[in-house]
């Protein structure tokens, strides 16, 4: 079946189904190769290709890369992995006509589009508008030269056309709203987008108060003479500043808690405080928080939850997953999200300082357990692939790509990098000779990066000689210092262990001193980041503990739980590739 080519407006393509939930999309996919394109609620409205392959429904988020507007060139490019396309229909045609895998990790091939029955329904209800605001594409380029208040009629349109010549192209800016529709001002921004809004301090809103509020409708359909919309058929018309009601102030988009905390700390002045004795029972885990993926009572490794998690990770590319993991690790280590009450209780400003102190035992225990559960969950993602060899190979390649996205200079999450490398170097995983040979044949670049870059880097980090500069690292590798402070012995001969011990202790001391720098580095990397709530929860320690051992088994002693699960992984490894 041929994919239609009538125009580049993918909203008019019959394989585009608009805003559609994952469950409804999966119900429409009947046979291998069936696919459709939908707008995802959980991915900030980004287009997602849903495809059935080998009996499973897979979902692939299509990335949108914004470019600086230039005559005769597209302003947005679309990509799945490496290759970029000027439009979404061009991307679909390339993959469908060429019978190319949507991703090398899955090998899924889209061949038969599932046609939409009837036009995409239009609705002027508040719910539809709130869900579609963050996905409205620009209809027409506008020259940004008017500095008068009346020139703010199109606030929220792209400002990339008047950026400095040396400025790098950024993501498409989210639409903001002014005027008499305050309920429309808080749409969730797309993943990776940067909200650029004007406030009274910009010198653009000081105008004469009008006698009456404007009567201009907030919604209009696109004019026939304008370019067709690329995503949504509702266009936001923003009233001009001259029509702003008296006394009305445009509320700013709500910043994430880590950005708000960073701004607050930059303005905070040092104050004299009376000394309070630190408490020894400080934790950054919140076990009482309800789960959106697990019920109040759950069994270990529920198949339905594992299937949901698999689709969730396939929807996000390694860079996005790395930022989710960085956010979860910073919160678990007490680097971001620390309340003033917690600071007063532990006597320092962050967990990086607390873990070096005598009363930081609980935090050190939590960090060690977090590392272990991340390693076990990652090993389960590989050893739980009981299908063909290519499935396990794809899982290995995904872990290598995630490790590359976590390394210094990228996300800079070294605890996350240590957990992913712990999976790849785990005996139950490293013994899979057929799987590793297939990885070298099919994904040579990933195999070479693992052997020549990631393994030496991890060895240096464990020995205390790896990179730890806050400029390229957002969260340092603290596992060696934590193990040492908890009484564990360092591996290796005594003469080398002594030098490593000194390097580790000196590194822990420097980490505590540089804690404010690491906090700023992490906040910079997460600036403008809008996490997926389900993926953010799936990377927390409490969720992984309940997933692996169930709501009843998570309360067992840690050493006993870890040992039993390692035995389970050993059995799975032997079943996949028995000893000859």
pLDDT tens digits for range 45-72:
778 999 998 888 898 888 888 777 777 7
Q: 292: left (phi > 0), else alpha (psi -120 to 50), else beta? A: alpha
Query: According to the per-residue pLDDT averaged within each range, which of 74-88, 90-104, 260-274, 503-517 is highest?
Result: 503-517
Amino acid 211: pLDDT: 46
- The answer to whether residue 510 scores a pLDDT higher than 70 is yes
Helix (H, G, I), strand (E, B) or coil at 524: helix
* Range ranked top by mean pLDDT from 120-129, 554-563, 569-578: 569-578
**Range list for CATH 3.30.505.10 in the chain:** 10-113
Q: What is the CATH number of domain 10-113?
A: 3.30.505.10
Q: How far apart are CA 156 and CA 153, in angstroms?
A: 9
Q: Which pLDDT belongs to residue 575?
A: 92
Looking at every residue in the chain, the average pLDDT score rounds to 75
Is the pLDDT reported for residue 563 higher than 70? yes
Distances from the Cα of 475 to the Cα of 89, 205, 256, 367, 480, angstroms: 40, 41, 19, 13, 14
pTM of the complete model: 0.60
Which of the two residues, 490 and 389, has the higher pLDDT score? 389
Kindly state the DSSP code that residue 489 receives in the 8-state scheme: P
189 vs 344: which has the higher pLDDT: 344
Name the token pair of 297. Answer: 């009572």
CATH 2.40.30.110, domain 294-445+533-576, yes or no? no
| Greater model confidence, 240 or 107 | 107
**Spatial distance between the Cα atoms of 370 and 374, rounded to a whole number of angstroms:** 6
Mean per-residue pLDDT for 137-141? 38
Tokens 């910043």 belong to 255
Tell which phi-psi region holds residue 92, choosing left (phi > 0), alpha (psi between -120 and 50) or beta.
alpha
What pLDDT, on a 0 to 100 scale, did the predictor assign at position 430?
Answer: 94
562 close to 376: Cβ distance less than 8 angstroms: yes
- CA dist 145 and 3 (Å) reads 42
CA-wise closest residue to 512 among 406, 407, 339, 363: 363
pLDDT of residue 493: 67
Please write the tens of the pLDDT for every residue from 393-445: 999 999 999 999 999 999 999 999 999 999 999 999 999 999 999 999 999 99
Averaged pLDDT, 432-461: 93
Q: Which residues pair with 51 in a beta bridge?
A: 35, 58
Mean pLDDT of 276-289: 71
């Amino acid at each position: 079946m041929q994919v239609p080519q009538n125009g580049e407006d993918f909203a008019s393509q019959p394989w585009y189904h608009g805003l559609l939930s994952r469950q409804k999309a999966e119900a429409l996919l009947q046979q291998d190769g069936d696919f459709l394109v939908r707008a995802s609620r959980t991915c900030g409205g980004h287009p997602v290709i849903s495809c059935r392959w080998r009996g499973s429904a897979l979902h692939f988020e299509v990335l949108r890369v914004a470019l600086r507007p230039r005559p005769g060139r597209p302003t947005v490019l679309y990509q799945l992995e490496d290759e970029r396309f000027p439009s979404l229909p061009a991307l679909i045609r390339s993959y469908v006509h060429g019978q190319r895998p949507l991703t090398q990790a899955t090998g899924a091939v889209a061949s038969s589009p599932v046609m939409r029955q009837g036009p995409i329904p239009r609705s002027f209800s508040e719910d539809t508008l709130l869900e579609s605001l963050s996905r409205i594409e620009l209809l027409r380029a506008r020259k940004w030269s008017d500095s008068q208040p009346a020139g703010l009629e199109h606030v929220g349109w792209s400002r990339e056309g008047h950026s400095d010549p040396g400025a790098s192209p950024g993501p498409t800016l989210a639409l903001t709203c002014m005027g008499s529709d305050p309920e429309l001002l808080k749409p969730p921004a797309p993943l990776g987008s940067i909200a650029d809004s004007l406030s009274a301090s910009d010198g653009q809103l000081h105008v004469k108060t009008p006698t009456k509020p404007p009567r201009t409708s907030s919604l209009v359909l696109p004019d026939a003479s304008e370019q067709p919309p690329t995503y949504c058929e509702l266009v936001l018309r923003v009233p001009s500043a001259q029509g702003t009601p008296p006394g009305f102030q445009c509320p700013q988009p709500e910043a994430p808690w880590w950005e708000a905390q960073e701004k607050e700390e930059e303005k905070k002045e040092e104050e004299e405080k009376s000394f309070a004795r630190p408490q020894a029972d400080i934790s950054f885990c919140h076990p009482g928080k309800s789960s959106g993926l697990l019920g109040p009572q759950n069994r270990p490794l529920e198949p339905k939850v594992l299937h949901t998690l698999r689709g969730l990770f396939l929807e996000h590319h390694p860079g996005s997953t790395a930022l989710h993991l960085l956010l979860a690790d910073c919160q678990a280590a007490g680097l971001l999200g620390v309340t003033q009450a917690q600071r007063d209780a532990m006597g320092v400003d962050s967990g990086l300082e607390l873990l070096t102190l005598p009363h930081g035992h609980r935090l050190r225990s939590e960090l060690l357990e977090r590392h272990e559960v991340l390693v076990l969950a990652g090993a389960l993602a590989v050893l739980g692939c009981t299908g063909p060899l290519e499935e396990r190979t794809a899982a290995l390649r995904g872990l290598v790509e995630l490790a590359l996205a976590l390394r210094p200079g990228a996300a800079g999450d070294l605890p996350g990098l240590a957990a992913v490398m712990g999976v790849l170097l785990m005996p139950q995983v490293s013994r899979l000779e057929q799987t590793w040979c297939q990885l070298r044949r099919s994904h040579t670049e990933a195999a070479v990066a693992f052997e020549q870059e990631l393994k030496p880097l991890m060895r240096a980090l464990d020995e205390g000689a790896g990179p730890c500069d806050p400029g390229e690292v957002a969260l340092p590798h603290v596992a060696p210092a934590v193990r040492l402070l908890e009484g564990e012995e360092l591996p290796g001969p005594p003469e080398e262990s002594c030098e490593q011990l000194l390097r580790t202790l000196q590194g822990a001391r420097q980490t505590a001193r540089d804690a404010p720098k690491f906090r700023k580095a992490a906040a910079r990397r997460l600036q403008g980041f809008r996490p997926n709530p389900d993926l953010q929860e799936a990377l927390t320690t409490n969720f992984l503990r309940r997933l692996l051992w169930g709501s009843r088994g998570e309360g067992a002693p840690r050493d006993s739980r870890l040992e039993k699960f390692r035995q389970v992984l050993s059995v799975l490894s032997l079943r996949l590739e028995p000893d000859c």
